[in-house]
Amino acid sequence: METIAKSLEKILDDLEAVGGIELSAIVSRQGLLMVSKDTKNGLSTEAFAALTATLYMSAESTTQRLNEQEPKSIVVETGDKQHGRSI
């Protein structure tokens, strides 16, 4: 039987197979890093996890104030489409 961690790692492996991914992670709402893949070596996955949680909580707070549901996804892109970041 496959563990939860292995299932989550498979999701990141499938994402990495698409190509162009520098860092991918599955992070809890509280910022707990569950699994990550760093293809560039040296990027701070812990900092990425914390920033992701902060961004999610901000988006969640905003949608609650607008009487909307929780956000399904959050996308952050840099000016250069080749270096976009999706969270």
State how far the Cα of 52 lies from the Cα of 50, in Å rounded to an integer. Answer: 5
38 burial level (CB within 10 Å; 0-12, 13-18, 19+): middle
* Most confident residue range from 6-10, 20-24, 38-42, 74-78: 6-10
Q: How far apart are CA 49 and CA 31, in angstroms?
A: 5
pLDDT per position as a tens digit, 7-25? 999 999 998 888 777 788 8
Domains (range + CATH), the chain: 4-86 (3.30.450.30)
| pTM for the full predicted model | 0.69
Q: What is the pLDDT of residue 11?
A: 92
